[in-house]
Chains A and B, each alone.
Chain A
Amino acid sequence: MRAVFVLVFILAVVLKHSACLFIGAFLLGLGGVLFNPASQAYLPHIVKSGDLAEANAISSTTSGFVSVFSTILGGVVATFISPVICFSVNSVSYLWSAFFVSKLLTVKEHAAATRSLDFIRSLSEGLEEVKRNQVARKIIIIGISWGLAGGGYYILIPLIGNTWSGMEGMGIGLLYSVDGLGVISGSLLVKKHIKQQIARMHWFYGIAYVTQAVFFTGIALCSDTWWTIFMLYFMRVSSGIIIPLDSTILQINTAPEVRGRVFALHGSTYGGFMQLSYLTSSLMFANLGITLTGAIIGSVSLFCGMYWLAGMQHRKRIQPPP
């Protein structure tokens, strides 16, 4: 689906019609609704639970590397050749993905999955799991909180990149490549220092939200290009720690038969509030300015970190010593 839908953006370039951008973005979102929950739920079937943090860190590190090269290359291609080539590459990339997914082994599904689908019961089982499972619930709440603010980040980057005179797509590409470098560094930290250590995983997760807040606010406050790049890099190091740990903590703490639904709920609540954030933060950037909006967004990330760390302290207090 996504390989076809992305071609609508080519129409937007050719016709110079903004409606095509909105339609294309909607269709692309529609095509991808189930991909991430399915791949996240599939991973624990093929990787041991002790290797999940490493597997997720490898995925984020690769994603970071790819983002560095692809954004620089994408920026050059979009600026000097045509954005049409970029959209075509994106279409081919989905075909590539489908080819390798087709080579995956079909995993034996849990008995519950082989029953005929009772839609309402199945839906309520997923909600029940989130209500019952404290860790899943906390991660979903943090996802909502960060989603509420984090959309502003994805608007801030093109806004800053576009203001660097004469760079246009290349400025945006450069910032996204710094973004990727940060994510690589953070994911490598997870791969090297966390692995199977559950307690450390939880600490890193909370602290990374706090440092992400500090550096995000830094991006919004500074006007110097090099400071912006510096702050962006360290903000994304924090994100690079959060991204694999978010998936790993949820995978470890969720039963396999409901894992897909929990990931879908997490993705949809996070993504949903993120889209609300696109709307609110774009209006805030336009009306309040980058500095104040950035400080507000940074405060939300700080809340996420403090909420998680406070939860850990609480669990530590109520758990009897071994």
Chain B
Amino acid sequence: MTRTRNLPGVNRNFRNLWLAQTGSTTGDWFNQVALAQTTLAITHSAEAMGFVLLCRSFPGFVLGPLISPFVDHFDKKKVMIISD
């Protein structure tokens, strides 16, 4: 745990977490644009767009509170790797 002005430069763990998040965020935005375009191209419907987004967040809503104890109980690193 190091306190400096350049956190990613000196804190190796933060740098790795930051690189991991940056990589997956890059992909997520590619997905976001392509998914919106594909959905509107196939369905031509705002409701369908809403339903796609709904499907994506539904598991989090239903399972999130139920499986939250696992986050504190299991190794967070393993949880992140399996999710990816």
> Is residue A46 contacting chain B, with contact meaning CB distance below 8 A?
yes
Would A31 and B83 be within 8 Å (CB), given that A41-B72, A176-B32, A282-B51 are in contact? yes
Q: Is the interface of A mostly helix, strand, loop or mixed?
A: helix
Q: Mark B9-34, 1 if CB is under 8 A from A, else 0.
A: 00101101111111111111111111
Query: Which residue of the partner chain, among A58, A92, A260, contacts B71 with CB atoms under 8 Å?
Result: A260
Residues of B within 8 A of A77 (CB): 30, 34
Residues of A within 8 A of B17 (CB): 39, 42-43, 46, 100-101, 104
Interface size on A, residues (CB 8 A): 120
Residues of B within 8 A of A71 (CB): 29, 32-33
Would A281 and B50 be within 8 Å (CB), given that A18-B43, A25-B56, A71-B33 are in contact? yes
Hey, which bits of chain B sit against chain A, CB under 8 A? 1, 3, 7-8, 11, 13-14, 16-40, 42-43, 46-77, 79-84
CB distance from A132 to the nearest CB of B (A): 16
The answer to whether B83 touches A62, judged by C-beta atoms less than 8 angstroms apart, is no
> Is residue A202 contacting chain B, with contact meaning CB distance below 8 A?
no
> Is residue A162 contacting chain B, with contact meaning CB distance below 8 A?
yes
Residues of B within 8 A of A164 (CB): none
User: What is the bound-complex CA distance between A278 and B79, given in angstroms?
Assistant: 28
Number of A-B contacts (CB under 8 A): 343
Additional 18 contacts, C-beta under 8 A, given A39-B17, A122-B72, A268-B65: A30-B59, A32-B83, A37-B68, A41-B71, A46-B11, A66-B29, A70-B29, A78-B38, A87-B31, A93-B24, A101-B81, A104-B17, A122-B73, A258-B72, A265-B68, A269-B65, A278-B50, A279-B54
Residues of A within 8 A of B28 (CB): 90, 93
The answer to whether B47 touches A286, judged by C-beta atoms less than 8 angstroms apart, is yes
Residues of A within 8 A of B30 (CB): 70, 73-74, 77, 86-87, 89-90, 93
CB distance from A115 to the nearest CB of B (A): 8
> Is residue A3 contacting chain B, with contact meaning CB distance below 8 A?
yes
The answer to whether A275 touches B54, judged by C-beta atoms less than 8 angstroms apart, is yes
CB distance from A3 to the nearest CB of B (A): 6
The answer to whether B24 touches A97, judged by C-beta atoms less than 8 angstroms apart, is yes
User: What is the bound-complex CA distance between A126 and B28, given in angstroms?
Assistant: 29
Residues of A within 8 A of B68 (CB): 37, 123, 126, 260-261, 264-265, 268
The answer to whether A271 touches B72, judged by C-beta atoms less than 8 angstroms apart, is no
The answer to whether B37 touches A169, judged by C-beta atoms less than 8 angstroms apart, is yes
